Every structure is written in structure tokens, then in C-alpha cells.
Amino acid sequence: MTIIKIFSLFIWLLAVPFCIGLLPMPYLDKRFRTPGAILSSGYILLFTLLEVAGIPVVVFQAYNGFSTFTGWFTAALLVAALSGAGITYWRGKRGYSLRLEGFSSLKGWGFEGRGTLALFLLLVVFQLYMAYTRASFDGDDAYYGAQALAAQQLDTLYRVNPYTGRSAPLDVRHALALFPIWEAYVGTMCGIHATIFCHSIAPLILIPLTYILYYQAGLALFWKKRQLLPGFMVLIALWQMFGNISLYTTETFFLTRTWQGKSFAGNFVIPAVLWLFLCLFGPEGKKKKGGSGKSGFWVLLGCLNLAGGASSSLAVLLSCLMTGGFGVLFALWEKKFSVLIKAGICCVPGGLYVLLYLALTHGLIGGV
């Protein structure tokens, strides 16, 4: 039974997101088609599908909402994953290929670089060990963990007061942030209690996923000095370990509240905006002039501005503000008004999310 659960976790946390992440790869140059980029893109698209499939159910279905959501979300994930795998296979017959060599510059790092990389991996393993064996308790678990468990056991979405266990009107403040519902979904698909998944399983995927994203950003930053990448990753790992200078730093959330949406917002959504803009306008992105080979990043940026809403409504506002700010900056830098137009279009999904949130909180949409 345990083996089946582990295999199910591998399917829903790695295989399915990876296959979904293959969808935008044909619209990127081969130098961007790394395993880390594929998995990071897969999770961006996964949480986009989570919001698209989940929000209508949350708003308009009071009973049996989780069952309905599970059906729609499963279908969306499988269609997206099969499409990604199928397109990659079909294009592979015509010369299309991925860049699956992993640590692409490992051969050029030398003994010192490999040793530094080994140190980084040891730090990550230590963090995963501590996160799994020393799971910390946080007061917010009385809400977020309980909402995931209520969805799993009561088959309802944000219709139960987690502090009392009684039925309640739709919690409009949190209703559009479906991160706990995703945790309940994966737990259900794998036969795992929602609380166990949140505290013990989620950090084992979300911590490495964050470092994978930072590694992709490092590839864009140090595209001509890849030997600096191991030191950069060690610095990031140490920063995360010793960043607990208050209750409110992203580092504190990263290791002690990993399973909460606010942690995902600060440690994945916001860095993902930086990663996408680095790939679009950073040194490596300029290796080929023009927009060809990078259009997939604009699509991912638009999806990210909606996907961030799964973690926190504030994440959507922040990612859209960053998109607009960077859009103005690089439009002036590139002297191309089209950059600003593309950035504006990428903010449209996030803008629709914000309008829906305002409509809910002001009673314009009452749900059922």
C-alpha cells in the first residue's frame, strides 16, 4: 500500500507537472528547454488550471463541491499532460528536441565547482530531513490545514468554518486561493490524509521546486560564467536557512510554513516573475535577437499572473505590479513599445482575478 502511495505521489507531483510543462517548450529556443524549466513551467500551468477549474465550483456550488472539482481538475490535468507528451513525441520525429542533460555545465566546473555543488545538495537534503522530521506547528494551520481537511472529508469548498466545524457562508476572503484545495486533491488522489500531506509531503516537493527555480534564474544570470552557479546556489541555501530573523520573512515561511499558500507566493510566484523576465531580457535571452524562441515565456507570464492567485490574492497584485514595472523598464531599455503591450496583455488574467475578488468581497457576486 505504501509503495502504491509513493508511486501515486510521483505521478501527480512530478510526472504530470513535467508533461504539462512540455506544452510551452516548442515556443522556446532549445537552450531554455531544461528539465528544471519544464518542471517549473509545469507547475505554473498546473496552478493556472487549478484556478480555472476550481473558481467556478467554489463560487457557484455549495454542496459536493470537492467531488465536482476533482472531476474537472483531473480531466484538465490529464488532457494537458497527454497533450504535452504527445506534442513532444510528434515534434520529435521532425527534429524537435529537449535539453535534458541536467546540470549543463557540470563538466566545466572542475573539482571546486563539483565540491560546491555537493555542499549545496547536502544543505538541501538537510533541509528536507528537518522539514520532514521536525514539522513545525503554526497557528494558521487551524485555518489552512483545516480547510484542506474539510474539503477532503466533508466534500465542500470554503463552506465550513474551520474553527468551529459548522456550515458557514462562502469565505470570500480566501475562496479564490485554492492552494489548500490542491493539497487536499493530491492527498485524495494518493490516499493520504490532508494534514499528513501538508506537513510531511508538501515540503518534500515544494522546497526542491523552489531551488530548481532559483537554479533556472542562475542559468540566466551567469550564462557566461556557469562556474559561479554552485556558489550562487549555496548562498541561496544558506540564506534560506538563516533568514529566520522574524516571523514574516519569506525564509521563515519557506522552511517552517512550506505548505501554506503565502509561502508559495513569496518563494515561487515572485521569483518566477524575475526568472521569466531574466529569460526574456537577460544576457542569455539576448543571444538571439527578436522575439522568436521566447514567446512561450510571455504565455507563462500571463498564466503566472493568474496562477499566483492559488497561493494568495496579494500574490496576483504583486506579480502584476512587477510585470507592469518591468514592462515599462524594458520597453524603455529596448525602445520598443511592443514590450509594454505584451506586459499589459500578460496582466489581463490577473486583472480579471482581481475584479472577481472585488465583486465577491463587495457582494456583487453572492455565489450560492
The burial of 166, by beta-carbon neighbours within 10 Å (0-12 exposed, 13-18 middle, 19 or more buried), is given as exposed
- pLDDT(277) > 60: yes
C-alpha to C-alpha distance for 273 and 269, rounded to whole angstroms:
7
Q: Among 346, 341, 365, 355, which Cα is nearest to 276's? A: 346
Q: What pLDDT sits at residue 291?
A: 46
C-alpha to C-alpha distance for 257 and 230, rounded to whole angstroms:
26
Phi, psi angle pair for 349, to nearest 5°: -60, -45
Task: Find out whether 144 and 262 touch, Cβ atoms under 8 Å.
Answer: no
Q: How large is the average pLDDT for residues 285-302?
A: 74
Query: Grid coordinates standing for 76?
Result: 484538465
Q: How large is the average pLDDT for residues 155-176?
A: 87
Q: Is 260 helix (H, G, I), strand (E, B) or coil?
A: coil
Helix (H) and strand (E) counts in the chain:
17, 0
Task: Find out whether 243 and 250 touch, Cβ atoms under 8 Å.
Answer: yes
The count of other CB atoms within 10 Å of the CB of residue 169 is 11
320 Cβ contact list (under 8 Å, min separation 6): 305, 347, 350, 351, 354
Task: Find out whether 158 and 58 touch, Cβ atoms under 8 Å.
Answer: yes
Among 76-85, 128-137, 317-326, 328-337, the minimum mean pLDDT is found in: 128-137
Question: What's the pTM value of the predicted model, to 2 decimals?
Answer: 0.93
Task: Find out whether 167 and 160 touch, Cβ atoms under 8 Å.
Answer: yes
Among 97-101, 297-301, 342-346, the minimum mean pLDDT is found in: 97-101
146 Cβ contact list (under 8 Å, min separation 6): 162, 163
Tell me the pLDDT of the chain averaged across its residues: 89
pLDDT tens digit sequence for 86-109 = 988 887 766 676 766 555 555 666
C-alpha to C-alpha distance for 264 and 30, rounded to whole angstroms:
28
User: What are the angstrom distances between the C-alpha of 21 and each of 46, 262, 341, 355?
Assistant: 9, 23, 25, 28
The identity of residue 366, as a single letter, is: G
Beta bridge partners of 167: 160
Among 13-27, 89-103, 109-123, 209-223, the minimum mean pLDDT is found in: 89-103
- pLDDT(322) > 60: yes
C-alpha to C-alpha distance for 215 and 203, rounded to whole angstroms:
18
Query: Grid coordinates standing for 23?
Result: 506544452
- pLDDT(269) > 60: yes
When comparing pLDDT for 44 and 172, which is higher?
44
Query: Grid coordinates standing for 100?
Result: 535534458
C-alpha to C-alpha distance for 333 and 183, rounded to whole angstroms:
41
